[in-house]
């Protein structure tokens, strides 16, 4: 696993760790969405830890900074998801395709992303 040093601290690079976790979950009995979800969650945990460590050294404050980071990420992801759906639709993707990507029905996707 790659180790980096930043401000005198050593750590594992988040993308590499997420890739290794994803590779470890390559067991075909686990659905792809579940494997991908676990790898993404691990990546986000590591990113939140790095964010918090850069903000403060106090344990309680670090825990709160991780929460804050993930809240900001959740909000930003919602905006980015709407943009991605609009791009997909603009490039010709069907609502059935959008529903598939969201792991929901075409009707649910349509209702969620149209005004």
Each domain of the chain, given as residue ranges in start order, spans 1-55, 58-115
Q: In whole angstroms, give the CA distance from residue 77 to residue 64.
A: 20
| Global pTM exceeds 0.85 | no
Partner residues linked to 12 by β-bridges? 3
pLDDT in tens, the chain (115 residues): 344 444 444 444 555 555 565 555 555 555 666 777 888 888 888 888 998 888 888 888 889 999 999 999 999 999 999 999 999 999 999 999 999 999 999 999 999 999 7
For the four alpha carbons of 32, 34, 38 and 40, in that order, the dihedral sign comes to positive
């Amino acid at each position: 696993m790659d180790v980096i040093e930043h401000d005198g601290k050593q750590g594992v690079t988040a993308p590499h760790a997420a890739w290794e976790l994803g590779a470890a979950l390559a067991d075909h009995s686990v659905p792809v969405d579940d494997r991908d979800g676990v790898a993404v969650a691990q990546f986000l945990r590591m990113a939140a830890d790095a964010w918090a460590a850069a903000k403060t050294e106090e344990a309680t404050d670090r825990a709160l900074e991780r929460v804050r980071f993930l809240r900001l990420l959740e909000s930003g992801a919602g905006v980015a998801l709407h943009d991605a759906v609009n791009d997909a639709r603009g490039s010709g993707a069907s609502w059935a395709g959008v529903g598939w990507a969201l792991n929901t029905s075409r009707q649910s996707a349509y209702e969620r992303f149209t005004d």
